[in-house]
Amino acid sequence: MMAPQKRSAEEAESLLVGVRCIVFDIEGTTTPISFVKDTLYPYVRNNIEDYLNKNFENADLQKAIAALRDQAAKEKEEKVEGVVEIPSGDASKEDVVKAVCDNVRWQMDGDRKTTELKALQGMIWNDAYESTEIKGELFEDVGPMLKMLAEEGFQLYVYSSGSIESQKLLFTYSSQGDLSDVFAGYFDTTTGSKNESASYKKIATEIGNEPKDILFLTDIPQEAEAAVSAGLRSALVIRPGNAELTDEHLQNFACIERFDELYGDEDDEDDIKRFAGDNGEAEDDEDEEEEGDEEDDDGEEDDGEDA
Ligand SMILES: [Mg+2]
- Predicted confidence (pLDDT) per residue in 79-122, tens digit: 999 999 999 978 999 999 999 999 999 999 998 888 899 889 98
Res 13: pLDDT = 65
How large a percentage of the chain has pLDDT more than 70? 82
CA of 53 to the centre of ligand 1 (A): 32
% residues pLDDT > 90 (the chain): 74
pLDDT of residue 113: 82
286: pLDDT confidence band, cut at 50, 70 and 90?
Answer: very low
On whether 229 is known to bind a ligand per the annotation, the reply is no
Give me the mean pLDDT over the 28-52 stretch: 95
Q: How far apart are CA 6 and CA 187, in angstroms?
A: 27
pLDDT tens digits, residue range 149-190? Answer: 999 999 999 999 888 888 999 999 999 999 999 999 999 999
Residue 95 counted as an annotated binding residue:
no
Residue type, 244: E
Residue 27 assigned ligand-binding role: yes
**Does 146 score more than 60 pLDDT?**
yes
Within a 13 Å sphere around the CA of 290, how many CA atoms are in the beta-carbon half?
2
- Ligand 1 centroid to Cα of residue 157, in Å, is 14
Residue 199 has, within 13 A of its CA and on its CB side, a CA count of 21
Give the Å distance between the CA of 35 and the centre of ligand 1. Answer: 12
Q: Compute the mean pLDDT over every residue in the chain, rounded to the nearest whole number.
A: 86
**Residues, Cβ < 5 Å to ion ligand 1:** 25, 27-28, 219
- In the predicted structure, residue 267 carries a pLDDT above the cut 90: no
Instruction: Kindly report, residue by residue over 218-229, the tens digit of the pLDDT.
Output: 999 999 999 999
Q: Ligand 1 centroid vs 52 CA: distance in angstroms?
A: 29
Of 97-101, 138-142, 206-210, 260-264, least confident by mean pLDDT is 260-264
pLDDT for res 2: 47
- pLDDT grade, residue 273 (50/70/90)? very low
51-61 in b/e form (b: 16+ CB < 10 A) is bbeeeeeeeeb
- Ligand 1 mean position to 144 CA, how many Å? 20
**What pLDDT score was predicted for residue 163?**
81
Residue 257 annotated as part of some ligand binding site: no
Confidence at residue 288, expressed as pLDDT on a 0 to 100 scale: 45
Q: How many A from CA of 288 to the centre of ligand 1?
A: 32
CA of 32 from ligand 1 middle (Å) equals 9
Whether residue 208 has pLDDT greater than 70:
yes
In the reported structure, the alpha carbon of residue 27 is separated from the centroid of ligand 1 by a whole-number distance in angstroms of 4
In sequence order, the β-bridge partners of residue 215 are 22, 233
Is 268 within any annotated ligand binding site?
no
Q: How far is the CA of 177 from the centre of ligand 1 (A)?
A: 22
CA 206/CA 210 separation, integer angstroms: 10
219 is in an annotated binding site: yes
Say what the pLDDT of residue 256 is: 95
Question: Which pLDDT belongs to residue 36?
Answer: 86
